[in-house]
């Protein structure tokens, strides 16, 4: 039985969600861990745990991107997070 078309997003929104989930989620994940590392004095534990937590965070951000209805809102939220984490990194140098 085919899906009901009213529940499907158009190809433009689908492309925005895919790029936000993959690229935006990756950038948010990397900048989050870098911002966390710039706040911590002892970075040894962060290096070890970020190998695992970065994958889980990226996967969660990918799923969140597909759960939202509007791809532009996802990109907006991810860009705000990217700027926030980049500002934290810049201020703690």
The pLDDT tens digits for 39-71 are: 988 888 888 888 899 999 999 999 999 999 999
pLDDT at 34 over 80: yes
pLDDT at 1 over 70: no
User: How far, in Å, are 17, 44, 46, 84 from residue 73 at the CA level?
Assistant: 9, 36, 30, 16
- The pLDDT of residue 89 is 95
Place of tokens 């939202």: 68
């Amino acid at each position: 039985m085919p899906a009901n078309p009213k529940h499907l997003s158009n190809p433009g929104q689908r492309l925005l969600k895919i790029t936000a989930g993959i690229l935006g989620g990756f950038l948010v994940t990397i900048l989050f861990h870098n911002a966390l590392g710039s706040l911590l004095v002892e970075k040894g534990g962060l290096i070890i745990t970020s190998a695992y937590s970065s994958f889980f965070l990226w996967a969660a951000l990918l799923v969140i991107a597909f759960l939202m209805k509007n791809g532009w809102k996802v990109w907006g939220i991810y860009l705000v997070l990217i700027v926030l984490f980049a500002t934290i990194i810049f201020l703690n140098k």
